Amino acid sequence: MDWEALGDELDTIGDITNRAQRIADYRRLLDQVSAGEEGWAEVQMYLADDLLAEGLVDDARATYQAALDDGGRTVLDPRAGLLDIALAAEDGAGVDELLTRLMVSSRADELVLGDYEWIAESLEEAGRLREALRWFTIPLRDIQPGDVHLMPVLCLNGRWRVRRELGLPLDAYDDAHEVLHSLDDGA
């Protein structure tokens, strides 16, 4: 199955409101693709997300790990899912190791915007606000605060939230957040 057809199939399954049915359909889809083939790791990611939402943490961890071990293309990095689980389990050593590995990937420009958002939001939810601030800020580093239309909104919003929680003074990106939202309110 090619990447585009797989995406269509994943979208169709994702539209199913019953999570148990989605999980069954992802598993059915995995029967059609072998480990190492294009798409297998991405299906594992979708399955892991629903397993985690269902509270099947050990299964979700194993599934994210399977996607990572496979090394196949995924839209988001499986380590972000593993980080989410390590944070919930309060596995400090695991969290630190994953953050180190993710930072290496960040510096190599191997992460996408969604990875940064997922990592930062997981850190924020776990109360690790300084680290969340760092991960929300990374995607903004090459964008001038005046270029509001180029700002990744979820990162800008998350950064603003975390900075308010930390009691930090307003900076140029906080001002950009205000401008962006004033533009939205005026539209």
pLDDT for position 21: 97
What confidence tens digit (pLDDT) does each residue in 69-78 have?
999 999 999 9
The neighbour count for residue 183, using CB atoms within 10 Å, is 11
Residue 104 CB neighbours (<10 A):
10
8-44 residue pLDDT tens: 999 999 999 999 999 999 999 999 989 999 999 999 9
Cα–Cα distance for residue pair 16/10, rounded to 1 Å: 10
pTM, rounded to two decimals: 0.92
- Alpha-carbon distance of 104 to 62, in angstroms, equals 23
Report pLDDT digits (tens) over 77-109.
999 999 999 999 999 999 999 999 999 999 999
Helix axes 129-137, 113-125, angle to 10 degrees: 170
Average pLDDT over residues 45-54: 97
As a whole number of angstroms, the distance between CA 166 and CA 101 comes to 26
CA distance 32 to 40: 9
The CA distance from 151 to 154, in Å, is 9
Computed over its alpha carbons, how large is the radius of gyration of the chain? Answer: 18
